[in-house]
Structure 1
């Protein structure tokens, strides 16, 4: 049923002082260079993602980064309403990064941004000044950036005079009698702050681009925990006559899901969320026969924001079943950032029971610090530890592992202590009380640490890396990581593609399996869909010794063979320029494995749906689009393996010595595949091409 609505009374029409939707500042006075030539279209270069502003533009003094200063001052206006409402973000430094209300040249009200230490958030927050005692006074608004250095900038937007503190909040009470609350989204619409109140408590609160008319798509809020209860939906910033709230509907289905998983750009064998945005893989853990994939998730829009832990499970790493959100924010603006999960087999935390160990998640709370939460229902729901936060520091993204020789837990954390980027290690006996152990510099975000055998030897090495995947090998004693080659050792490149970021590997994989399985965020913008971004295909990691030292390799997990459909094979075929023995192969989902021997070719490889994957034997280089990697033949041949989906081509060369995941959206009408032989022939020692079946129901 469509919800009815009730509006808060509005005494007089609001007066917009400035909405900053033009491409210049108009009559506002500008000093310095910080504010640029005009309002910004959101996030500026090298800035964290800016959210919480209204419309398409805002004031943003990050124009030249945090090294510039300036002021922006409005023309005089008469105060005619009880309140002035506005949005502000950025630095929290009184008098230096702030918004001032000036009357008779004096500051009578002031408001800073929210951030004063590394990390933080570029979200603008709504504020209200009570100016009821200043009616008929002439005033000016002054936006100030007089600080250089970290958080030396201010963001501001949408200054309005109003007789309502809430700025036109619409609300509706309803009885929860369906599974989902379907919410209409229009991309680019003003972001509205929405909350759901049950039993007098705010149980959900987030920002959403609420559609006023025909939505681009629908997102949903799971009502299961509130079945049979009375609830109230509130939306800030809506004006009388708004259709935004009236379109919200309860239903037992997700509206618009008739073609779920069959959308034109839905990857068919990579995980994507049903609706909304995903980024980092989180909490990868194997438990009771299931591979759990938690992930950074905005359930209410297709851009970054509103961070929750989404959740999906699989029995085979191929076929994923999305489950309800696992960890919700503690409150608005205290988001659930990245982290990890472990199975506390020995019940060191006391969270579990005999024969039923708890899954314990460690995550960054943006409002509190590093937190832990436990699950006693197989990872479906989590309860926060009452002693949170367990670590306070400048940083985020805890990766927790069990260090067997010391019989203790290790937490690797991205750390910005002293303004330097690195990984800090903490230790604990019980997952609750943590002690600092050591720190290593030169890493940014999403740390990962694990041990691997070196193939074909009796050696083992520890691997340490952060979000970009570039890694060090070395030794680890449970407290200190010592790189091979000493403190000056250079990191090695892992991913040579254009979309790899923020990977994680699985904890608690059974010994009889023994693999180190990794899933990374595939940073691929997927346009005009009700979802955005993807996970890269699961890979098995290995260490191999080469002439250059120990190197990490990646291969698709063997379960890919479960998706094979129609297949073809070729052997001992010489291909001259212009020939194409695989011309009959047409498809958008492919697994290609080949051993190629340049036999005079200046370039060889494949062209898949218009995208060239080419090896240059003279340069010993493998290239796809603008990415390339060194590749040397083995016994005169190279081995290529390609996974082709609707929005990506993942390239593996010489059994994973080169890993090049590429985010690519090929032309919809081009499903052709051909062998590339340029400047001379190439010999195909072996070639197999498998059409792949979709993993979705």
Structure 2
């Protein structure tokens, strides 16, 4: 949340080790979303209503500028989940270091017919026109995902609505739901309570069964207390994702200081628990992103917060570099292990785009990428970046595009393929991928990748498709890492423009 000039990040944390367990709400603060200072934990198990764990939730700033946290507590060994609240002990403390859990907790308990072991992660509250606050709590009934709706006039007594705000069959347990408005036209973010004719709503859920996140755009019917997704994307695990890689348990919030909505996502490790113990830490927050609605109204756009530019150092720029089939050109003059790379590729024609195999319609983009990787010669593509590469390409993480022809339209595949990322054994090395809904009339595709030692966070076509990968090279580390542009397609591709920056380390706030 943003409160009195300071950003507060609360996150699940084990203060006793780098593996899962002993979870508390850690707390860090920042004035710019980039440089952070960790404080003491805000919430930790201490009462009967959370003695077996303090789990995810959300913050809401109530009228009178009073913040309140809603969170899930576990009350017993049977994993009974309830919704609790906490408030600052001292509103005059600018960092809100200490939080109090009043004794009238829990506020919400699972009633009869609600799965008490799948009832968690309350959302930020929004205020309806009737003066009642509303929140969602994620859950499931058998294999149907559910967003339970609760209402309250005073934020203390909550009543479950007769119907869920939304459900979807075959999706399993819904974790970390998020529900918020976006402008149909314009780039400003909206407070969670905004309603009106120029607004669409987003419902995002994290699916426990797939460990991916999915969202739909749709209409919030306030008279019926129902959310109706548009029919422009699937309402389930084949639907739209914020990120097609290692990205889960995300949360957005409204930043009133800059009239924008910010998205935070978490990426866990792809190596072993023993590796985590040796490192002494596990799991990262990815770079915060600004969310807007694409002009086509069918999907969201995401882009790193502009404050990230403050970490940029040395810059290299070149343009009009032609890449013929098989060309690999190194980008020098920066630190490839920590870099921000923004490149636009152009191509003279779409004629050589290879046919899109009709049998692939049944596959995920990730499966198509595994079949048509960066080393598989194509027509138009694959072309893109080889990140965190060793000098002789024993290790590299390619981020690239392939363009296919499917009937009268073109299909653009974006991949971040970790299969060649490391010589290390026992790693999870998937070929993450997503399709890009982009107009190729100008015959250009853009790619931005944020590279930071063990993470490659990429944004295709100005944030239409995003993929985050966790990788663990053994050779391509520190000053032994390299960065290349490449083309393995028959059609020549031009690097129209490329800007790359060395990225400096953030600092801890005073």
Instruction: Give runs of aligned pairs for residues 389-408 of structure 1, distance below 5 A.
Output: 389-393=106-110, 394=116, 395-403=119-127, 405-408=129-132
1:621 to 396, 409, 413: 413
Distance in 2 (alpha carbons) for counterparts of 1:574 and 1:647:
30
Aligned counterpart, 1:441: 167
Matches within 5 A, 1:14-53: none
Describe the SS at the equivalent of 1:400: coil
Question: Within 2, Cα distance between the matches of 1:489 and 1:611?
Answer: 30
The residue aligned with 2:318 is: 570
Question: Equivalent residue for 2:266?
Answer: 521
Q: Secondary structure at the match of 2:129?
A: helix
Among 409, 425, 449, the alignment partner of 1:642 is 449
8 A contact 1:474–1:482 mirrored in 2: yes
Structure 1 residue 363 corresponds to structure 2 residue 71 = yes
| Contact 1:358–1:376 (Cα < 8 Å) also in 2 | no
Q: Distance in 2 between matches of 1:596 and 1:538?
A: 26
Q: How many residues align?
A: 399
Larger Rg: 1
1:406/1:659 CA distance change after superposition, 3 Å: farther
Please give the secondary structure, in 1, of the residue aligned with 2:84. Answer: strand
Residue 498 of structure 1: CA displacement?
2.8
Structure 2 CA distance for partners of 1:487 and 1:519, relative to 1, 3 Å: closer
The CA deviation at 1:338 is 0.5
Change (3 A) 1:556 1:573: same
8 Å Cα contact 2:319-2:496 kept in structure 1: yes
With over 3 angstroms needed to count, the CA separation of the structure-2 counterparts of 1:299 and 1:553, relative to structure 1, is same
Return the alpha-carbon distance in structure 1 between the equivalents of residues 98 and 451 of structure 2: 35
State whether structure 2 residue 99 is matched by structure 1 residue 375: no
- Give yes or no for contact 1:494–1:552 (8 Å, CA) kept in 2: no
C-alpha displacement of 1:523: 1.7
Q: Residues 472 and 406 (structure 1 numbering): CA distance in 2 closer, same or farther, change over 3 Å?
A: farther
Moved more, 518-527 or 536-545: 518-527
Question: How far 1:613 moved relative to its partner?
Answer: 0.9
Instruction: Please state whether the residue corresponding to 2:134 is helix, strand or coil.
Output: strand
Aligned residue number for residue 424 of structure 2: none
Q: Tell me whether 1:683 sits opposite 2:494 in the alignment.
A: yes
Q: What's the counterpart of residue 356 of structure 2?
A: none
Corresponding residue for residue 245 of structure 2 = 498
1:463 matches 2:202: yes
Contact 2:126–2:133 (CA under 8 A) maintained in structure 1: yes
Where does residue 334 of structure 1 map in the other structure?
Answer: 52
Task: State the Cα deviation string for residues 116-147 of structure 1 (Å, max 9, x = none).
Answer: xxxxxxxxxxxxxxxxxxxxxxxxxxxxxxxx
Structure 2 partner of 1:297: 13
Residue from 461, 464, 483 that aligns with 1:657: 464
Shift of 1:306: 1.1
**What residue number does 2:103 align with?**
386
CA contact (8 A) 2:183 2:200 kept: yes
In 1, Cα distance between the equivalents of 2:382 and 2:216?
33
CA distance in 1, matches of 2:498, 2:124: 42
Listed as ranges, the matches of 1:533-612 within 5 Å are: 533-546=283-296, 550-576=298-324, 577-580=326-329, 582-599=331-348, 601-609=380-388, 610-612=396-398
Give the structure-2-normalised TM-score. Answer: 0.73
Higher RCO (CA < 8 A, seq sep 6+): 2
Superposition pairs of residues 77-476 of structure 1, within 5 angstroms: 285-331=1-47, 333-346=51-64, 357-367=65-75, 369-378=82-91, 379-393=96-110, 394=116, 395-403=119-127, 405-417=129-141, 420-437=144-161, 438-439=163-164, 440-442=166-168, 444-455=174-185, 459-467=198-206, 468-476=212-220
TM-score w.r.t. length of structure 1 = 0.54
Aligned pair in 2 of structure 1 residues 480, 418: CA closer, same or farther (>3 Å)? Answer: farther
- Partners in 1 of 2:309 and 2:135 — Cα distance? 35
Question: C-alpha displacement at 1:579, in angstroms?
Answer: 4.7
Aligned partners of 1:524 and 1:647 also within 8 Å: no
RMSD after superposition: 2.4
- Please state how far the C-alpha of 1:560 moved relative to its aligned partner: 1.0
